């Protein structure tokens, strides 16, 4: 092979004790593990992908609103996603001269195996359906379509950005 055009990063993990209870009570080991898996892994994978992206390319990761706003039962993952989103910006700055774009998608809550670990996920989904301008949540297909766009030449002028694919939920104040 020897050449890579696209890297999609979708690694995330926080131990259950990092998601519930008081944030200040999260054990250091859980904190370190979540940031290593959910945040540092993007930089680590990028380091390996960079020499293979000889003709430019696109790196994409997945985030969530909990990286910029407090979300109940998200605690440590919010910190990890905040770090991930800042990593997107630093990597975009570093890799831009190589014509490698780095972006993130912040999807609204979707019923998945991973989301089932977040306490109250169904309540979150119903809340988004009531509050979002589109009065619904998004589908995996809609997130996939946004990913295809960001990884394609149609997004050749976009880097260092977080694209919200959440039926407009992120824009709402109350």
The span from the CA of 13 to the CA of 77, in Å, is: 8
Reference 11, options 31, 40, 32; nearest CA is: 40
CA proximity to 58, closest of 144, 156, 141: 156
Contact 77, 38 (CB under 8 A): yes
Residue of 64, 90, 164, 169 marked active site: 64
90 catalytic per annotation: no
Q: Is 40 a catalytic residue?
A: no
Q: Which of 40, 74, 164, 169 is catalytic?
A: 74
Closest CA to 107 of 26, 23, 173, 10: 10
Token pair, residue 81, equals 């996603």
Residue 63 bridge partners (DSSP): 106
| DSSP 8-state secondary structure symbol assigned to residue 54 | B
CA–CA dist 94, 14 (Å, integer): 28
Classified as helix, coil or strand, 67 is helix
Which sequence positions are flagged as catalytic? 64, 74
């Amino acid at each position: 092979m020897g050449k890579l055009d696209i890297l999609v990063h979708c690694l995330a993990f926080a131990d259950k004790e990092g998601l519930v209870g008081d944030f200040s009570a999260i054990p250091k080991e859980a904190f370190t593990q979540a940031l290593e898996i959910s945040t540092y892994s993007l930089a680590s994978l990028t380091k390996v992908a960079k020499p293979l992206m000889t003709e430019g390319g696109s790196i994409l990761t997945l985030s969530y609103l909990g990286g910029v706003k407090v979300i109940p039962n998200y605690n440590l993952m919010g910190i990890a996603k905040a770090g991930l989103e800042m990593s997107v910006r630093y990597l975009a700055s570093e890799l831009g001269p190589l014509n490698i774009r780095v972006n993130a998608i912040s999807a609204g809550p979707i019923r998945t195996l991973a989301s089932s670990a977040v306490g109250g996920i169904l309540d979150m989904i119903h809340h988004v359906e009531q509050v979002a301008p589109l009065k619904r949540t998004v589908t995996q297909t809609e997130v996939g379509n946004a990913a295809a766009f960001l990884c394609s030449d149609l997004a050749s002028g976009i880097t260092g950005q977080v694209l919200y694919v959440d039926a407009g939920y992120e824009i709402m104040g109350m």
